[in-house]
A and B are shown apart, each in its own frame.
Chain A
Amino acid sequence: MKRTTLALASVALLAAGYTGTASAQAKEQFVPANGYWVGPYAPGGSGIFGGFLDYLKMINARDGGVNGVKFTWEKCETEYNNARGVECYERSKKKGPTGATMIHPLSTGITYSLIEKGTADKIPIVSIGYGRTSAADGRVFPYVFPLITTYWSQATAMIKFIASKEGGTAKLKGKKIVLVYHDSAYGKEPHAVLQKMAEQYGYELTLLAVPHPGNEQQSQWLQIRQIKPNWVILWGWGVMNPTAIKAAAKIGFPRNKMIGVWWSGAEEDVIPAGSAAKGYMAAGFNISGANFPVIQDIKKNVYAKGEGEMEDQSRIGSIFYNRGVVFAIVTVEAVRKAQEKYGKGQSMTGEQVRWGLENLDISEAYLKKLGATGFMQPLKVSCLDHEGGGQVKFQQWDGTKWNVITDWITADKALVRPMIEEDAAKYAKEKGITPRDCSKES
């Protein structure tokens, strides 16, 4: 009996392997939704892909797609696991009439694993707000787009924000800043930038590692109590965030001197911390709220028909959900841009979408047309710069919702850019890549 199960399994797998290459009808644009709906990071995965797919559904319903080309998608569970992520990528890359439009890996680890694969398969890897920072150098990474803003940009924006609170960058001298970070590749991202800025501005930086998963932070926060820092930057992940906020309350560290990274700044990160989270601040490249016209359109065109992704409709307009909508706006606009060059009303290949991404120009006026003024920042991508925006807003938790407390704060690109180029050049050398000449790109 068991052997037959196994045999059946392998037959089905075989069949699935081949049907994957069968082509569907034309006039469709296939976007893989490789995310996670189980495990510790499910709140983020389900929220972001909820918003992402709802927006695509809305574009299909309201506009009939992009110039008549409707979006299709398929979900694939990556469990936030590199191996599963690669499997999902391989499964989804040939689907649809023209293959995968672009991949949102939604995990820094998976992004790293896909950089070479995506480049070889000519499928853009779009990592918005995560992934490899130095991929912003489009000359070395033609198929990788760490769009909107990167960890390094964010770190500089945080220091800028702290400076503005302290009354100017000159006041930073002698101030103590502690970085509490998730002990992983992700948490180590900002070290170099923050250290460089410490030299520049003369603040004292202490780095405190929190071992994965971060559900026990007693010793780190006792150290903070000893250091008595002016500011704490929280570079956390999952359960580490509420635990850190709780631990801060436990040693009596003021929460309004704590700034979280954008992966520490969703409702899911503060609600478990309860009242302790009041006053806590976090950066974000998108903001929360359901009053934007674009979210209202989703409600009207998708939820009114009962086709929405979110079972719990109160999550519409949450940070994660809106972040997914931002991802989707970028996706749709890149396809639209590509169609302008390669033929309106056609399904675009990954290679064509890559051009679309690289020439993406979402202006403030265009954002207004999308109904997303203030919802996300204007974005202009180029061959040289695969990041584009580089701005964040800071938001503060008042116990029930996030309130925006600053306008867009621009990153210190003069500081970050040379570091990006240096790292990209190192990668190019290691891999034997000759950087593109951007003046020759059309």
Chain B
Amino acid sequence: MTFFIEVLAGGLLAGVMYSLVALGFVLIYKASGVFNFAQGAMVFLAALTFVSLLEMGWNFWLALLVTLVVMVGVGVLTERIVLRPLVNQPPITLFMATIGLTFVLEGLSQMVWGSQPHGLELGIADVPMEWLSEKWNINISKFDLFAAAVAGVLVASLAVFFQKTRIGRALRAVADDHQAALAVGISLQHIWAIVWAVAGFVALVAGMMWGVRNGVQYALTFTALKALPVLILGGFESVPGAIIGGLIIGASEKVAEVYLGPYVGGGIESWFAYVIALVFLLVRPQGLFGEKIIDRV
């Protein structure tokens, strides 16, 4: 039983890590209807820039700030160079453009900072909490809890940003109806640039969390694949969906791998999350919190 709790808790916490990446997707999709495949590459770029600056001896906060500036720059440039000329194109074209962007960002990161992997430590060790493992024999990592806390703070601040600020309200207006938003004088371009910048910030946070776990290296771009089942489960447009979806996916894939995996040769994690999401979609095509109408082909 304790083992089951441990697997479940581990899965939920792993799910938080997926949610962190999925959040970036949701923000951009919500505001501009773009399925931004380059989110993974942005995670990589952010983490690599940050860690390289740290290794050059920069102060932690200064490095964080500069990385943030870089990510905002990338967001604004993307809006200007890629998205604006592609306004009104079918979503699949925009999707393809973001894959093109993925190549550019991957090439750029490795060209500037090299291809060597880096270690990243944030001062919180990724080791089990002793009292918990001694008393209950349950292993839960301190860092996992930290990551969950960070995700919580991130979502809360995003919620405040969306609900309470002027820009946030404009963002929601754009998400609801582009034309109506334009009609009341909201500049789509500005909003998109802001959203991409915020997504860049989310990418930086995700990159730091994943970077501690895996080291900062090219493979951070693969985190995007972990976020995809979360997205279809939670809905492309829903921030709470990304969180809940992440938790469900994380927990169920871990439980399946541990309890079902041994009977079929293991390694089922690679597709199990997708199958869960798929089965769920068959019952409820709009996802957990998705909008009813999804005719967006």
| Interface set of A (CB-CB < 8 Å, partner B) | 37-40, 42-43, 46, 183, 207-216, 218-220, 222-223, 225-226, 238-239, 242-243, 246, 249-252, 268, 271-276, 311-312, 315
Give the complex CA separation of A207 and B265 in angstroms: 8
Q: Which of B57-65, B84-92, B215-223 interfaces with chain A?
A: B215-223
Which 7 residue pairs of A and B lie closest in terms of their CB atoms, listed nearest first?
A272-B215, A209-B267, A239-B219, A211-B270, A42-B115, A219-B257, A209-B266
Name the one of B115, B126, B258 contacting A250, with C-beta atoms under 8 angstroms: B126
Tell whether A312 pairs with B114 under 8 Å between CB atoms, given A213-B219, A246-B126, A271-B215: yes
Would you list 29 pairs from A and B whose C-beta atoms are within 8 A, ordered by A residue?
A38-B106, A43-B115, A208-B266, A211-B267, A213-B219, A216-B14, A216-B269, A218-B14, A218-B254, A219-B7, A219-B11, A219-B257, A219-B261, A222-B3, A225-B6, A225-B139, A239-B214, A239-B217, A242-B119, A243-B213, A250-B126, A252-B127, A271-B118, A271-B215, A272-B118, A272-B215, A274-B120, A312-B114, A312-B116
1/0 contact string of B108-119 vs chain A (CB within 8 Å): 001000111111
Name the one of A211, A249, A272, A274 contacting B269, with C-beta atoms under 8 angstroms: A211
In the assembled complex, how far is the CB of residue A267 from the closest CB belonging to chain B, in whole angstroms?
9
Give the complex CA separation of A223 and B14 in angstroms: 16
Give the complex CA separation of A242 and B126 in angstroms: 13
Which A residues are in CB contact (< 8 Å) with B118?
271-272
Tell whether A222 pairs with B6 under 8 Å between CB atoms, given A42-B110, A242-B214, A271-B119: yes
- CB of B133 within 8 A of chain A? yes
Closest to B267 in A: A209
- CB of B229 within 8 A of chain A? no
Q: Count of B residues near A, CB < 8 Å? A: 48
In the assembled complex, how far is the CB of residue B53 from the closest CB belonging to chain A, in whole angstroms?
17
**Do residues A215 and B219 form an inter-chain contact, with CB atoms below 8 A?**
yes
In the assembled complex, how far is the CB of residue B23 from the closest CB belonging to chain A, in whole angstroms?
17
**Do residues B119 and A274 form an inter-chain contact, with CB atoms below 8 A?**
yes
**Do residues A272 and B222 form an inter-chain contact, with CB atoms below 8 A?**
no
Which B residues are in CB contact (< 8 Å) with A312?
114, 116
Closest to B256 in A: A219
Most chain A CB inside 10 Å of its own CB: which residue of B11, B213, B220, B270: B213
Tell whether A43 pairs with B116 under 8 Å between CB atoms, given A239-B214, A250-B126, A252-B133: yes
In the assembled complex, how far is the CB of residue B227 from the closest CB belonging to chain A, in whole angstroms?
12
Closest to B211 in A: A272
In the assembled complex, how far is the CB of residue A232 from the closest CB belonging to chain B, in whole angstroms?
15
In the assembled complex, how far is the CB of residue A185 from the closest CB belonging to chain B, in whole angstroms?
13
- CB of B245 within 8 A of chain A? no
Name the one of A242, A252, A274 contacting B139, with C-beta atoms under 8 angstroms: A252
Tell whether A215 pairs with B210 under 8 Å between CB atoms, given A225-B139, A271-B215, A273-B215: yes
Tell whether A219 pairs with B254 under 8 Å between CB atoms, given A40-B217, A251-B139, A276-B126: yes
Closest to B141 in A: A250
Which A residues are in CB contact (< 8 Å) with B11?
218-219
In the assembled complex, how far is the CB of residue B54 from the closest CB belonging to chain A, in whole angstroms?
13
Give the complex CA separation of A238 and B117 in angstroms: 10
6 new A-B contacts, CB < 8 A, other than A214-B219, A222-B3, A250-B143, are A40-B218, A42-B110, A43-B116, A239-B215, A239-B222, A243-B215
**Do residues A223 and B258 form an inter-chain contact, with CB atoms below 8 A?**
yes
Give the complex CA separation of A274 and B3 in angstroms: 28
**Do residues A40 and B128 form an inter-chain contact, with CB atoms below 8 A?**
no
Closest to A238 in B: B219
- CB of B121 within 8 A of chain A? yes
Give the complex CA separation of A42 and B48 in angstroms: 15
Closest to B103 in A: A38
Closest to B140 in A: A250
Which B residues are in CB contact (< 8 Å) with A208?
266
Which B residues are in CB contact (< 8 Å) with A39?
106, 218
Closest to B139 in A: A251
| Interface set of B (CB-CB < 8 Å, partner A) | 3, 6-7, 10-11, 14, 17, 106-107, 110, 114-121, 126-128, 133, 139, 141, 143, 210, 213-220, 222-223, 226, 253-254, 257-258, 261-262, 265-267, 269-270
Give the complex CA separation of A274 and B215 in angstroms: 8
Name the one of B117, B261, B265, B267 contacting A272, with C-beta atoms under 8 angstroms: B117
Which B residues are in CB contact (< 8 Å) with A243?
213-215
Closest to B137 in A: A225
Give the complex CA separation of A231 and B195 in angstroms: 49
**Do residues A272 and B115 form an inter-chain contact, with CB atoms below 8 A?**
no
Name the one of B10, B119, B254, B261 contacting A273, with C-beta atoms under 8 angstroms: B119
Which B residues are in CB contact (< 8 Å) with A219?
7, 10-11, 253-254, 257-258, 261, 269
Which A residues are in CB contact (< 8 Å) with B267?
183, 209-211
Most chain B CB inside 10 Å of its own CB: which residue of A37, A215, A225, A238: A215
Closest to A212 in B: B270
In the assembled complex, how far is the CB of residue A374 from the closest CB belonging to chain B, in whole angstroms?
27
Which A residues are in CB contact (< 8 Å) with B143?
250
**Do residues A249 and B126 form an inter-chain contact, with CB atoms below 8 A?**
yes
**Do residues A246 and B116 form an inter-chain contact, with CB atoms below 8 A?**
no
Give the complex CA separation of A275 and B125 in angstroms: 10
Which B residues are in CB contact (< 8 Å) with A223?
258, 261-262
Which A residues are in CB contact (< 8 Å) with B3?
222, 226
In the assembled complex, how far is the CB of residue B219 from the closest CB belonging to chain A, in whole angstroms?
3
Which B residues are in CB contact (< 8 Å) with A251?
128, 139
**Do residues B222 and A213 form an inter-chain contact, with CB atoms below 8 A?**
yes
**Do residues A38 and B213 form an inter-chain contact, with CB atoms below 8 A?**
no
Closest to B226 in A: A216
**Do residues A43 and B117 form an inter-chain contact, with CB atoms below 8 A?**
yes
Which B residues are in CB contact (< 8 Å) with A183?
266-267, 270
In the assembled complex, how far is the CB of residue A119 from the closest CB belonging to chain B, in whole angstroms?
33
Closest to A184 in B: B267
**Do residues B218 and A252 form an inter-chain contact, with CB atoms below 8 A?**
no
**Do residues B127 and A222 form an inter-chain contact, with CB atoms below 8 A?**
no
Tell whether A250 pairs with B223 under 8 Å between CB atoms, given A43-B116, A242-B214, A268-B117: no
